[in-house]
Structure 1
Amino acid sequence: MTTAESGSLSSADLEGYLFLIEELLTRPFPETGFHDATGCGGPEHRVRILRASQEFWDDDDGQAAREADADMQTYLDALVAALTARWGEPHAVDLLPYLRAGLEGETVSEPINSLSQLAGSMQAWPHQSFGRWLGLAIGQGDKELPLELLAAVGHTVALEQGTPGRS
């Protein structure tokens, strides 16, 4: 995990994030669930925190949060551009229907369930050769908590099932 510091995205940072993403795609899923400072995962998924901002407990005017959001968006845009050049255009995935479905008691597969509680949307690329998909999103657990640039990997079939409540 990288904590956000003021500054621009270096090519070394970008290459480091791309390495972590490639590792997520090829690494076996953990046999049991885990949650630590780098992210979380389980038998069907893995989520990695690529970058995190500071917390916003004392950000009364919201300026620090706006600056951190702009910083995260810069990193997300750079990663999306690099991955689009490698793998083609991503699918934009609206996570709100998954959040609603989960709140209504429907089963939502991981990591989509976790992501829907942190982010409103993600950019995703299916990788049939791995039987997986990769998603990138900016998420936040609550307004006082850090913004996080997240990379998630799950089974392709879960992403292709589409919006909850639809067959």
Structure 2
Amino acid sequence: MTQALKYETASSGETQALAARLGEIVQSGDVLCLSGDLGAGKTTFTQGLARGLGIEEPVSSPTFTIIKEYDDGRIPLYHMDIYRLGEAAVQEDLGYDEYFYGEGVSVIEWYGFLEELIPEDRLELHITLAEGDGRRLRFTATGPHATARLKELEQLCPTSH
């Protein structure tokens, strides 16, 4: 069963606040797949998610390191940016399973390059630019755990969709 939820934010601060609410409810083993054009706000969203997890360390894009781990929150955050690896990402032995099935939440920017390795039960987020500094966010849950998380988010942050 696939469930979707849409939000529109007016600023990067609102985008981060929505992400922080999600960060308050994500659980170990949750996988969040981010897509959107360059500059759409994937890292901005992840910064808000980290804040919701209680992570105080600055969060930046792992474009050159591919994977960054943040362990000082409620649960660990594994932030991946697969853009530089491209289609070669599936051949790289970076221990993806240890992250996807680990103690923390995995956030994957440019997840399309890794799609065949990512768990089927995941929360996908597509971000597009809106007017001004705003963003349109479309969450899609692809399994029971992701659907439960999406329902929790909708209770915390109601939307008209």
Task: Give the TM-score taking structure 1 as reference length.
Answer: 0.33
| Structure with the greater alpha carbon radius of gyration | 1
